Amino acid sequence: MADKLIITLAQLNQKVGDLAANAAAMLAVRAKAVNSDLIVFPEMQLIGYPPEDLILKPALIERAAVELEKLAQATANGGPAMLVGSVFVRDGALHNGVALLEGGKVAAARFKVELPNYGTFDEKRYFLPGPLPEPVEFRGAKLGLPICEDIWHGEVCRHLANQGAEIFLCVNGSPYEIDKNVLRIDGVAKRRAMDTGIPLAFVNRVGGQDEVVFDGASFVVGAEGAVWVQMPDWQEAIVDTTWRRVPYGRGHRWRCEPGEISKLAEHPEDIYSAMVLALRDYVNTNRFPGVVLGLSGGIDSAICAAIAVDALGAERVWCVMMPSAYTSAESLEDAAGCAAMLGVRLDTIGIQPAVDGFAAMLAPAFAGRAPDLAEENLQSRIRGTTLMALSNKFGPMLVTTGNKSEMSVGYATIYGDMNGGYNPLKDAYKTTVFAICKWRNGHRPRIGMGPEGAVMPERIITKPPSAELRPDQKDSDSLPPYDVLDAILHGLVENEKSVEQVVADGFAYETVARIERLLNLAEYKRRQAPPGVKLGSRNFGRDRRYPITNGFRTG
């Protein structure tokens, strides 16, 4: 019976559907983990997570089985065993599971019991729950293998403890949300460890996958609730943990030797890091050479340019200023200043010739009508078309820059400033934008590739926001102050409150009712918006799925 185990926790990125690349990455880790007894990889590491309807393709299931067998064969001649997450077929049903690969074969497999079916998760659409799992015998230790959601409920861990499990190894695909890391450790993992008296290693993936991003931040907690190991967030990491069998009462228990405790990103660095990593992986995995975006001199485009530089490097970011008759000298100066501070290419393409051309072209049809929102939106659509033309001609992906406050109430032009392939700010309210701008002007994220110092002129942060589509326009002409708007939207969107409930929080009825009306009317725009990173619990699209045609109102 072994009294010592070296268990390697491999916090890795994944490529959904790229089975060969994911398998190769695991074998590369194994080649270096020469002293390890067991390497633990994140949930669905072979397939990539979340696979969505890709998992319904029989060819994917067949190839996953072939790749898993190849991985198992790699263990035939000794060396570390591997704990690999994949999809499994049993009695004609699909299961989300994990396999212990040892001695050249699949030595054991366990299936996920608790299938999440909320927010970003649709696991009941694809999988059947497995039976309550038994521990797996491994070199003298009894391993309990709960999978992600299994530890968020008590039954699986209690059952494993009753069956003699001595160590919990929990593989995860746990997406980032604001404040979620505290919930994972204090609200879930510590509780399971302390309730059962069994230490728990939590291994999470890292990286972006379309609209979700995974922060890593894997850890080990002891049976008493102490954190023994804390791995970094927002980057791949491989850590060897040493476990020893120690006396306990009349018997023994396994204990992990204390290891490195990495400092995790605090607010708002965590939000900013989520945007950077999500954009980086989206652009790189989809093989874009870089990005292009409109740099208006406003705060949203400035922070998107900074995010892009931190994600990709200045040489892969192309900014374009597109002035019209209403563009202020301040905006021209601020855009130029921002580009210089970031070290990016900045081109200026004036849109007035196109504005004049459309005005002449539409004059007969618009005869007798005063200029209004149609003429304002034409400017935005000309800018969107210009940027898409550059994207088509030269290949960079167009980054769109609208924030959640604007998207909530429709303060964005469909086929105009909503054009793009990805939006880092899609789930960030305007007040969040201000917060990350102030933070980034004084700090660089650990994973950032941009400059150490400030990334935009201070005036961009302090001046009143404006779309500059008509003379002396300000956002406050059409919307409440952003601190008021965001508080109302937080009630209506994040908390699903009625108008009356939000009014009870201290807001004027007329204002709240108007915002609710705008929120519902803008659903059709949001359905046509590009993807963007999920930050909170109710992002538009994956979490909040409202009908476009909807007659229900609460105010």
Q: What is the pLDDT along the chain (555 residues), one digit of tens a residue?
A: 679 999 999 999 999 999 999 999 999 999 999 999 999 999 999 999 999 999 999 999 999 999 999 999 999 999 999 999 999 999 899 999 999 999 999 999 999 999 999 888 899 999 999 999 999 999 999 999 999 999 999 999 999 999 999 999 999 999 999 999 899 999 999 999 999 999 999 999 999 999 999 999 999 999 999 999 999 999 999 999 999 999 887 788 999 999 999 999 999 999 999 999 999 999 999 999 999 999 999 999 999 999 999 999 999 999 999 999 999 999 999 999 999 999 999 999 999 999 999 999 999 999 999 999 999 999 999 999 999 999 999 999 999 999 999 999 999 999 999 999 999 999 999 999 999 999 999 999 999 999 999 999 999 999 988 777 778 777 777 889 999 999 999 999 999 999 999 999 999 999 999 999 999 999 999 999 999 999 998 888 888 888 888 888 888
Dist. CA 234–CA 216, nearest whole Å: 6
Q: Which of 148, 170, 319, 437 is catalytic?
A: 148
Tokens 């309990």 -> residue: 144
83 DSSP assignment: E
Cα atoms found within 13 Å of the Cα of residue 515, Cβ hemisphere only: 30
Residue 148 annotated as catalytic: yes
Query: Comparing C-alpha atoms, which of 272, 296, 279 is closest to residue 428?
Result: 272
Encode pLDDT of 76-131 as tens digits: 999 999 999 999 999 899 999 999 999 999 999 999 999 999 888 899 999 999 99
C-alpha R_g of the chain: 26
Encode pLDDT of 158-202 as tens digits: 999 999 999 999 999 999 999 998 999 999 999 999 999 999 999
Query: Comparing C-alpha atoms, which of 135, 445, 518 is closest to residue 277?
Result: 445
Q: What is the reported pLDDT for 454?
A: 97
Q: What are phi and psi of 143, to 5 degrees?
A: -95, 125
Interaxial angle between packed helices 329-342 and 299-312, expressed in degrees from 0 to 180 and rounded to the nearest 10: 10
Query: Comparing C-alpha atoms, which of 60, 13, 10, 50 is closest to residue 284?
Result: 13
DSSP for 231-279, please give it: PPBSS-EEEEEEEEEEEETTEEEEEEPP--BPPPPPTTHHHHHHHHHHH
Fill in the amino acid letter for 44. Answer: M
Does residue 251 contact residue 197 with C-beta atoms inside 8 Å? no
Q: Which of 67, 102, 112, 319 is catalytic?
A: 112
Dist. CA 408–CA 173, nearest whole Å: 29
Q: Which helix (H) or strand (E) holds 434?
A: helix 430-440
Q: What is the reported pLDDT for 130?
A: 96
Q: What is the reported pLDDT for 1?
A: 63
Q: How far is CA 375 from CA 228, 261, 413, 465, 479, in A?
A: 61, 57, 12, 20, 20
Query: Pairing between strand 38-40 and 81-90?
Result: parallel
Dist. CA 387–CA 401, nearest whole Å: 13
Cα torsion through 442, 446, 450, 455, rounded to 10: -20
Q: What are phi and psi of 372, to 5 degrees?
A: -150, -150
Q: What is the reported pLDDT for 185?
A: 95
DSSP for 73-106, please give it: HTTTTSS-EEEEEEEEEETTEEEEEEEEEETTEE
| pTM for the model | 0.95
Residue 393 annotated as catalytic: no
Burial class (CB in 10 A: 0-12, 13-18, 19+), 410: middle
Angle, vertex CA 538, rays to CA 532 and CA 543, nearest 5: 75
Residue 304 annotated as catalytic: no
Does residue 488 contact residue 431 with C-beta atoms inside 8 Å? no
Q: What is the reported pLDDT for 406?
A: 94
Torsional sign, CA 265, 271, 273, 278: positive
186 DSSP assignment: I
Domains of the chain: 4-256 (3.60.110.10), 269-527 (3.40.50.620)
Q: What is the reported pLDDT for 251?
A: 80
Dist. CA 245–CA 220, nearest whole Å: 16
